Structure 1
Amino acid sequence: MTNKTVLGLSAGEKVIIAIIPPLLGALLGWFVPTVADWVIKIPFIPFEGVFKWVTTLESDWVSIIAAILGVLAGVFFVLHAFSESLKIIITDEEVKLIIKGSVKIIHKEELSAVYMEGKHIVFLTADGTELFRGQPESKKELISEAFRQHRYPWREKDPFENQYQRWVTDHPDFPSHVNALLYARERALKNEETDEAKVLRKDLADLGVVIRDEDHRQYVRVVER
């Protein structure tokens, strides 16, 4: 039987996530008429007409319908949370990374370093190419212990940390297409477009460009291939 370690949400955490949001949604929905009656007493409240309309409806039916909608919203949140959760399965030969229904497999011999950068786990090849970056649910200590147990090249920090330089618009050390992608990503970060920033990071990683973010500033290194 293959020796493996699974990192991700525990059974208890899954139960809590599955129960709490729908329950809170139901409670908030049930008290919508009471909240509306209280809100309309506040001067200059936005959407005052909507709240007044709610208070004119039959309160029992409003509460029931709003509670059902709250449960549905909670269920949607739960499904979203589970899909965004990163599951890591480690064996002595490979790492399987599962998130959003997709699976990525990384073989041990491909790796030169595995480390945590803030809340994210990062996998690097021998030349420093970034193979994967994601946010695990487990604590750093548990992750470190698991990878060490399976004899992976765990590092306490980025082994290439001295090779990064601050990116600025039209940086002279980078090609124009790389600068264009970095500019687009900086705009995405400033506009809090998280998904777009992730896609652009992946596009840049495919070009051998590795990024470290610090307070919406991009520090960049280029892999020597």
Structure 2
Amino acid sequence: MLDERFRKGRLSTGTDARGGTTALGHPRGDLLLLLVGLPAAGLALGLALPRLARWASGSPVLPWRQAVEFVGGLDALWQTGIVMAVGLVAGVVLSFMALAEDMTLELTDTEVRTERGDETRAFARTDVSAVFIDGQQLVLLGTDSAELLRGGHAPRAADVAAAFRAHGYPWRDGDPYAALFHRWIPEAPGLPAEMHALLAARKGALKRDKGRDARELAELARGLGYVVRDEGKDQYWRALVTGA
């Protein structure tokens, strides 16, 4: 059974004129690709994998030769069926992981609600000073210039921009404070010891691929008067802007 959100259509893009609510999520084409395309690709890969392994096993320089030759030896019908089933399951898992990672949005003139996995957050329009897209991530800034929200978004960037503008949010083409960021260098002057410790802990969380821990540490930086963002493997920081 599909998740309740899918059956209720909350991942579609559209505006409810009566209630003044815009729901933004995966476009239908993207949703179809995720829910059908990835499992189908996994199924096809499972079918082709033994043949690919037999072809690759002829190479004189082949890493993991024993594993490749084992897969290439799976030529019985039932063995091929098992490999295809594994590919199908992998495709399904990947599709739902992709859905869980991207945020879906619900906007009104007074509030924006976001949902990512089992995490739902809400922000009042009066608490938002700027909205923009940074790379592949949607960012909401508060009235103190701190990041209220940062995360990958399901809808297309043009749809996101149009929706926020339609509801009167302060949309920006980029980060209005981008020029204020500095790359973090451990123990470099200009930051208090507490921020150096926080950024060191956050670096460890990023290395362990603990995305939620990294986000929580970035939120803690706000209490110390700073904003944190990532560029590649580097962390960048800036001080909050008073009166933003």
Task: Normalising by structure 2, report the TM-score.
Answer: 0.81
Which residue of 2 is the match for residue 114 of structure 1?
Answer: 131
Which residue of 2 is the match for residue 160 of structure 1?
Answer: 177
| Equivalent pair of 1:30/1:63 in contact (CA under 8 Å) | yes
The Cα RMSD (Å) is 2.4
Map residues 67-216 of structure 1 onto 2, 5 A cutoff: 67-186=84-203, 191=207, 193=209, 195=211, 197-216=214-233
Range with greater deviation from structure 2 (16-25 or 193-202): 193-202
Q: Which runs of 4+ in 1 moved over 6 A?
A: none
Cα distance in 2 between the residues matched to 1:116 and 1:58 = 49
Cα distance in 1 between the residues matched to 2:142 and 2:45 = 49
Cα distance in 2 between the residues matched to 1:141 and 1:159 = 19
Query: In structure 2, the residue corresponding to 1:31 is in which secondary structure?
Result: helix
Range with greater deviation from structure 2 (214-223 or 84-93): 214-223
Cα distance in 2 between the residues matched to 1:188 and 1:66 = 35
Listed as ranges, the gaps of 5+ residues in structure 2 are 1-17
Name the amino acid aligned to 2:144: D
Range with greater deviation from structure 2 (13-22 or 46-55): 46-55
Range with greater deviation from structure 2 (34-43 or 194-203): 194-203
Cα distance in 1 between the residues matched to 2:70 and 2:137 = 47
Deviations 1:113-141, CA, capped at 9 Å, x for gaps: 11222222211121112111112133333
Cα distance in 1 between the residues matched to 2:69 and 2:235 = 48
Name the amino acid aligned to 2:57: I
Are 2:82 and 1:65 equivalent residues in the alignment? yes
Deviations 1:131-179, CA, capped at 9 Å, x for gaps: 1111213333322221111111222232333433333221322221211
Match of 1:218 among 222, 229, 235: 235
Are 2:21 and 1:37 equivalent residues in the alignment? no
Task: Normalising by structure 1, report the TM-score.
Answer: 0.87
Q: CA deviation at 1:98?
A: 0.5
Listed as ranges, the gaps of 5+ residues in structure 1 are none
Cα distance in 2 between the residues matched to 1:52 and 1:110 = 60
Cα distance in 1 between the residues matched to 2:60 and 2:110 = 65
Aligned length: 224
Q: CA deviation at 1:112?
A: 1.4
Which residue of 1 is the match for residue 65 of structure 2?
Answer: 48
| Equivalent pair of 2:136/2:153 in contact (CA under 8 Å) | yes
| Equivalent pair of 1:22/1:70 in contact (CA under 8 Å) | yes
Percent identity of the aligned residues? 31
Cα distance in 2 between the residues matched to 1:172 and 1:111 = 31
Cα 1:54–1:213 shift into 2, 3 Å: closer
Cα 1:3–1:169 shift into 2, 3 Å: same
